[in-house]
Amino acid sequence: MKSITNFLESKLKLQVNREKSAVDRPWKRKFLGFSFYIRDGEVRVLVHNKPVKKFMDKVGQILSRSNGQSTEKRIEALNRCIIVWINYFGLLGMKHLARRLDEWIRRRFRMCIWKQWWKIRTKHDNLVKLGLENRKAWDSPTREKAIGGFPIAQS
């Protein structure tokens, strides 16, 4: 650390923040939200867990069920958040992470819509509008209610 700091400050005329700087193996450090690992003798880059968690927390706030925003406002805020994140981390081949985040975001969004529909009749009508057959549309809301701990008599 001492020799690297000396080189950076004397030769390159860069100031080193000694509190934030460290010397370690690349796979043990995080740099600007990225981590490094070795596979098949190659050093590869991936998104560190901390920015992923921060992104999920931000999306979780946008798609909170108790957040009384309209669907359009949620979509607008969500698009801004995703575009910023992808513009920064999109250089990486993060197919698996992107797929996992996409599934999670879709599930959260469905949860918000399901809560907005609130009444069983509204859920049924909207499911039919989306193309679900009548009987299945009736089964979905009642099954969800019964699972929630409210037994419902089915005829």
Residues 125 and 110 in one domain: no
30-48 tens-digit pLDDT: 888 888 888 888 888 888 8
Residues 6 and 60 in one domain: no
More confident residue, 153 or 63: 63
Residues 44 and 111 in one domain: yes
Residues 50 and 94 in one domain: yes
Q: What is the pLDDT of residue 39?
A: 84
Q: What is the pLDDT of residue 84?
A: 93
More confident residue, 56 or 152: 56
Residues 112 and 39 in one domain: yes
Residues 23 and 49 in one domain: no
Domain of residue 139 covers: 118-155
Residues 76 and 112 in one domain: yes
Segment 7-28 mean pLDDT: 84
Residues 96 and 135 in one domain: no
99-110 tens-digit pLDDT: 999 999 999 988
Mean pLDDT check: name the lowest of 18-32, 60-74, 123-137: 18-32
59-93 tens-digit pLDDT: 999 998 888 888 899 999 999 999 999 899 887 77
Q: How many domains does the chain have?
A: 3
Residues 53 and 110 in one domain: yes
Residues 65 and 99 in one domain: yes
**Distances in Å between the alpha carbon of 49 and those of 15, 54, 56, 106, 120?**
28, 9, 11, 20, 39
Residues 47 and 107 in one domain: yes
- This prediction has a pTM of 0.69
Query: Could you tell me which residues are beta bridge partners of residue 39?
Result: 42
Residues 41 and 105 in one domain: yes
Write the DSSP string, 34-99.
EEEEEETTEEEEEE-HHHHHHHHHHHHHHT-TT----HHHHHHHHHHHHHHHHHHHTTS--HHHHH
